[in-house]
Amino acid sequence: MKTDAEFPIADMRTRLLDWYDAEGRSLPWRIRPEDRKTGRTADPYAVWLSEIMLQQTTVPHATPYYGKFLERWPTVHDLASAHEDEVFAAWAGLGYYARARNLMACARAVSEAGGRFPKNEKALLTLPGIGPYTAAAIRAAAFDLPASVVDGNVERVIARLCAIPKPVKNSKPEIRRVAGDLASPERPGDYAQAIMDLGATVCTPRSPTCPSCPWQGECIAFAEGNPETYPVKAPKTIRPHRRAVGFAVFRGSEIWLRKRPPKGLLGGMLEVPSTDWRNESWGDAEAMSQAPFNSGWEARATIHHVFTHFSLDMQMWRYEADQEWEPIEGGWYAIGDIDELALPSLMKKAIGAAL
């Protein structure tokens, strides 16, 4: 791999920043170079909110959510005092609810400490949901402080620039080192956003537009004529598959839902009760032993859902309860309100299949 010492670093920084000044994206949470010149500074709350949303989704998908959150909870104090269920409902569609829980916990911690996000990396890392990447992104984008911000876009740019012959997961230290050496000490915030924009808009996963790239002259993958082969792909791992039976209990126009345990997958979210999620299939008698009623079920469709680390088939069973029956945990929810509830998409699918 080519080392940073062999790159004309100062020249590359200038070219990238010139490109960013002309071509960088305008994003609602971002302070552009022309804004800085007028003395405008970023709102750390807005930057933090966008970074948490962008941890698991794309800019086009996150932008309407960002607008909705900022309109409803314009300051960290507003978000800190919001009801958790309201925030979860607004988060629906942004994936992993653990992040929404951390979002609330972080907002409360910052609000209790006076409402200012810390600038210091160590202090940022003590906040819920803020890891090294997010801390670096907040330092750079919100406070214009030097920080090594390496996301998937930056990894791709560096892997191609240096034609790294290993998958990203095996070359993170090299990528970080090169990214750190290239970073601009004079304009750290703009530089961090510039290299991410380069990856997002020019050095794209497929069909990078190398003729528009300010680093084409140094890029080894371009010189080799095969930029798309980088980053080198890691061998595929097989995603485990699990199976469960879901128990949808209806009472007229209502459905029984309960909260999942606070920790773990979909922690604290509402759910339709189910058997354990396991590798083996479930026989009817076996599933019945975990059902809330031991007869009277009607089999419905099986739904399929893919999580990051495993996939799940859930065969739905439906039960119509007597008006007098009351569950010992959870409660009844109007079926017409399902879309408004903080329900994971798996559970929305499960209810849809059981209706």
Tell me how far, at minimum, the Cβ of 220 lies from ligand SF4, in Å: 8
Question: Pick from 149, 200, 202, 291: which binds ligand SF4 (CB under 6 A)?
Answer: 202
Cβ-based nearer residue to ligand SF4, 221 or 249: 221
Helices (H), ranges, the chain? 9-23, 33-37, 44-54, 59-72, 76-80, 84-91, 97-112, 121-125, 132-143, 152-161, 172-182, 188-197, 220-224, 284-288, 345-354
Residue (182 or 316) nearer to ligand SF4, CB: 182
Residue type at 292 in one-letter notation? P
Is 160 a binder of ligand SF4 (CB under 6 A)?
yes
Q: Which residues are catalytic?
A: 51
Out of 75, 201, 216, 229, point to the residue binding ligand SF4 (CB under 6 A). Answer: 216
Site string for ligand SF4, 161-190 (x = CB under 6 A): x-----------------------------
- Using CB under 6 A as the binding criterion, the count of chain residues that bind ligand SF4 stands at 14
Of positions 24, 44, 227, 231, contacts ligand SF4 by CB under 6 A: 227
The 3-state DSSP class for residue 71 equals helix
Please state the closest distance from residue 77 (CB atom) to ligand SF4, in A. Answer: 42
- Does 53 bind ligand SF4 (CB under 6 A)? Our answer is no
Angle between helices 44-54 and 59-72 (to 10 degrees): 140
Beta bridge partners of 333: 255
Interacting span for ligand SF4 (CB under 6 A) from 186-194, 213-221, 305-313, 343-351: 213-221
CA distance to 24, 169, 252, 328, 333, per residue, from 325 (Å): 60, 53, 12, 10, 14
Query: Binder to ligand SF4 among 16, 192, 203, 316 (CB under 6 A)?
Result: 203
Among 16, 17, 100, 219, binds ligand SF4 (CB under 6 A): 219
Q: Please choose, out of 106-114, 175-183, 188-196, 219-227, the segment that lies near ligand SF4 by the rule CB under 6 A.
A: 219-227
**What is the 8-class DSSP label of residue 299?**
E
- Shorter beta-carbon distance to ligand SF4: residue 55 or 171: 171
Note whether 19 binds ligand SF4 by CB under 6 A: no
**N residues, the chain:** 355
Closest distance to ligand SF4 from the beta carbon of 190 (Å): 18
Shortest Cβ 199–ligand SF4 spacing (Å)? 8
Q: How far is the CB of 179 from ligand SF4 (least distance, A)?
A: 13
Residue 7, burial from CB neighbour count under 10 angstroms (0-12, 13-18, 19+): middle
Q: Which residues contact 340 (CB under 8 A, 6 or more apart)?
A: 89
Phi and psi angles of residue 250, each rounded to the nearest 5 degrees, phi first: -110, 155
Residue 97, classified by CB atoms within 10 Å of its CB into exposed (0-12), middle (13-18) or buried (19+), is buried
> In whole angstroms, how close is the CB of 221 to ligand SF4 at the nearest point?
5
SS3 (DSSP) at 331 = strand
What residues contact 28, with CB distance under 8 A and at least 6 apart?
A: 46, 50, 63, 66, 67, 70
Interface residue list for ligand SF4 (CB under 6 A): 157, 160-161, 202-203, 208, 210, 213, 215-216, 219, 221-222, 227
